[in-house]
Amino acid sequence: MLKLCACALSLLATCAVAQADCDDAPGPAENAVRRLVAPLAQHELDVCVFYGDYSGDGAEDAVVFFYFADPNGGNSFDLEVTKLRQSDGRFRPDGLVEDVYGESPRDARFFEGRIEITMTTPQGDDPRCCPTGTTRYTIDAR
Length of the chain equals 142
Reported as a single tens digit per residue, the pLDDT across 17-48 is 454 556 554 688 888 877 777 666 566 667 88
Reported as a single tens digit per residue, the pLDDT across 63-107 is 999 887 776 766 677 888 999 999 999 999 999 999 999 989 999
CB 97 within 8 A of CB 105: no
What is the reported pLDDT for 107? Answer: 95
Q: What is the pTM of this model?
A: 0.77
DSSP letter (8 states) at residue 70:
-
Fill in the amino acid letter for 104: S
Residues with Cβ within 8 Å of residue 18, at least 6 apart in sequence: 50, 51, 52, 108, 109, 110
Domain spans in the chain, listed from the N-terminal domain onward: 16-140
